[in-house]
Structure 1
């Protein structure tokens, strides 16, 4: 049964994005999902409890026209927006900075930072103009926003920037009933290069627990602020 609320989830074709879409749908949300691969988005939709309340938009968060198309399609389909989960992100090979190309650096910044900015901008426009106004934004952050791992220049820079964007959105949104959260999650199962030079797997958990956490934060009243949410 629908709860009348609408969410956008980017990077919804796999992992945390897919798990969050499934959890939101289970909780009664209508969801608009964005990812580059339409076939994987279809798989996510099929896993949602009521596919009729799932809108799919294939596109790239780093492309302004794709982001605008996503938000317009969401309003056309559902009439409003209550929550945005800026989940789409990417990393880069862990190499010394002298081996990191400008192209690789820019690709990470484009997805992790520019994509988050573009989606935040469009969400805020809707939140301010709709009735009742307001909404919540959740940004997918990283422990790298606080403690970097070796050779993670672009990724660490992007996640520090997203934390700044989160705090600024929260500050400027208060007068408009808009709030913003940054999640911090455990590393991927494949592990990461460690400060001592070793490469090892680190403890992690099923992505469904992130989805459940997103549902919990999204369901809070807008006068309840969660600046950062650390799940490890």
Structure 2
């Protein structure tokens, strides 16, 4: 698993997983990551593009260009660089993590929403480009997920008003997509709490 946060890497290693420090917004770092994995494992079977951040919860008038670009760099450029290297190493399945924000955005989310719309487009382009090489590319669109990244206030608000998915629900969805035979591809999958509004949310 690639990660940039040192504490996250140490936690993974304690659980017996192999991790490597990577900045997915840095081209050389991503190239090095894939070369390392190929050398250590012999081949690369699956890429899960799961890294992502959100911009500060501010109005469009207050959103800085730097914050906007940071979100695009992590969420879009990082996913592109990883997918490109996966293609170069003939990885046969790529799973991108999108968001239902690419269907119905929340207020004050221009950067995050733009990035997830971009992931939707990137996913379709990759699926098309991968077709002749038997590379399956799909995107998982989660709704609200119980995450340590949520502030306590937002966590409680969403839990009370819309519901939250357990992280294991998300994991099961990824495993479903990853376990498909080479002849099958889940192009898009949406999972959200039963009580979460989607249509008309914006």
TM-score by length of 2: 0.85
1:213 to 164, 173, 179: 173
Aligned counterpart, 1:113? 76
SS at match of 2:89: helix
Aligned counterpart, 2:93? 136
Residue 165 of structure 1: CA displacement?
0.4
Asked whether 1:222 is paired with 2:190, we answer no
Q: Tell me how large the CA RMSD over aligned residues is.
A: 1.9
TM-score by length of 1: 0.75
SS at match of 1:73: helix
Aligned counterpart, 2:21? 58
Asked whether 1:36 is paired with 2:4, we answer yes
SS at match of 1:230: strand
Residue 187 of structure 1: CA displacement?
2.0
Q: Partners in 2 of 1:168 and 1:186 — Cα distance?
A: 23
Residue 188 of structure 1: CA displacement?
4.2
Q: Partners in 2 of 1:90 and 1:161 — Cα distance?
A: 14
SS at match of 2:182: coil
Give deviations 1:151-186, integer Å, cap 9, x for gaps: 111110010011000001111101001011110112
Aligned counterpart, 2:142? 185
Q: Partners in 2 of 1:77 and 1:167 — Cα distance?
A: 30
2:56 to 93, 99, 106: 93
Q: Partners in 1 of 2:130 and 2:182 — Cα distance?
A: 11
Give deviations 1:37-86, integer Å, cap 9, x for gaps: 12321212323xxx2xx321112111111111110110011000111000
1:186–1:203 CA contact under 8 A, matched in 2: no
Residue segments in structure 1 that go unaligned for 5+ positions in a row: 1-32, 128-133, 192-198
Structure holding more strand per residue: 1
Question: How many residue pairs were aligned?
Answer: 184
Q: Partners in 1 of 2:49 and 2:128 — Cα distance?
A: 18
SS at match of 1:176: coil
Q: Partners in 2 of 1:44 and 1:206 — Cα distance?
A: 20
Residue segments in structure 2 that go unaligned for 5+ positions in a row: 193-202
